[in-house]
Amino acid sequence: QVQLQESGPGLVKPSQTLSLTCTVSGASISSGTYYWSWLRQPAGKGLEWIGRISTSGSTNYNPSLKSRVTISVDTSKNQFSLKLSSVTAADTAVYYCARSTVGANGSYYYYYMDVWGKGTTVTVSS
Amino acid sequence: SYELTQPPSVSVSPGQTASITCSGDELGDKYACWYQQTPGQSPVLVIYQDSKRPSGIPERFSGSNSGNTATLTISGTQAMDEGDYYCQAWDSSTAVFGGGTKLTVL
C-alpha cells in the first residue's frame, strides 16, 4: 500500500524559501504512470493545487504561484520536493503531497489524486 | 483562469439523499473528481472520471457530469458522511478546485 509522508520545517521566516519533501513508501516512485503533486490549505479555507511533476521530470505549476515554485524529484531516494520562494504570511497553510494516477480514454488522458499524505503545517512568521 | 463554483453548505437528514453541485464553463467536457475531507484529516478521493468510485468507497456515493454542472450524490446519507466536499477538474494541465461544500447531516 503506497503511503506518502511530508517533512520539512514547520516555521519559515518571511522572504525566505519554504522547502518540503514528500517520501513515498510501499512502491517505487518510478513505477507505473503517475504524477506527484503538492497542494496546500490555509486554515479554514479550501484546497489549492501548487503543481506536479512526473518521474521523468516534466512539471506543471499553478499559474498564480509559478514564479515562486520549483518541484523536483529524486527517484534514488523515492522522494519529490517543493521549494516556494519569497514566502509571506499568506503562504501559511497545511501542505499536502499527493499521487496523481493517470488514466486514458482513447487519446484523452485524465488524472485523479488518489493517495494523499497526512499534511504538514507550515507557518510563515518572523 | 478556470473557476469551479460550489454551494458553501448543504444540509440533509440521515437516510436521505444529498446532492452537491459544481459549476464551471463547459465542465461536462472535462472529467470531474470529488474529494471528501473530515476535520483534521487529509482529503479522500470519492469519485473520479465523473462517476467512478475508487476501491473502498461505498456505493451510496455517485457522480455525474454534463453541460456546465457536475453533481455528487450521496444516497442514504449517514452521519459519517458529514464533512467538506471539493470538486476538482483539470484545465490546461492545471488542477482547479471548487471552493468546497460543507455537508451537514442533521
Distance of CA A1 to the CA centre of its chain: 19
**Percent over 70 (pLDDT), chain A:** 100
**Percent over 70 (pLDDT), chain B:** 100
B44 interaction partners in chain A (CB closer than 8 Å): 116
Test B35 with A113 for CB contact under 8 angstroms: yes
Whats the size of chain A, residue-wise? 126
Q: Residue A118 is inside which H or E element, if any?
A: none
Q: To probe the interface with B, which of A38, A47, A61, A69 has the most B CB atoms within 10 Å? A: A47
Residue A102 region by backbone torsions, left for phi larger than 0, else alpha for psi between -120 and 50, else beta: beta
State the Cα torsion A45-A71-A118-A87 to the nearest 10°.
Answer: -50
> What digits encode the pLDDT tens for the residues A58-83?
999 999 999 999 999 999 999 999 99
Q: How far from each other are the two terminal CA atoms of chain A, in whole angstroms?
A: 39
> What digits encode the pLDDT tens for the residues A19-55?
999 999 999 998 888 999 999 999 999 999 999 999 8
Around Cβ B21, how many Cβ atoms within 10 Å?
A: 17
State the Cα–Cα distance between residues B70 and B47, nearest whole angstrom.
Answer: 11
How far apart are the CA of A101 and the nearest CA of chain B, in angstroms? 10
CB B96 within 8 A of CB A49: yes
How far apart are the CA of B25 and the nearest CA of chain A, in angstroms? 18
At residue A108, the pLDDT reads 80
At residue A107, the pLDDT reads 78
Q: What phi and psi values does residue B79 have, to the nearest 5 degrees?
A: -60, -35
Taking CB atoms and an 8 Å cut-off, how many pairs form between chains A and B? 59
**Confidence tier at A109 by pLDDT (50, 70, 90):** confident
pLDDT at B67 over 90: yes
B100 interaction partners in chain A (CB closer than 8 Å): 46-47
- Decide if B57 touches A, using CB distance below 8 A: no
At residue B58, the pLDDT reads 97
Partner residue facing A116 (CB), from B43, B86, B97: B43
Distance of CA A68 to the CA centre of its chain: 14
Among the listed residues B33, B65, B63, B66, the one whose alpha carbon sits nearest the alpha carbon of residue B51: B63
Distance of CA B100 to the CA centre of its chain: 8
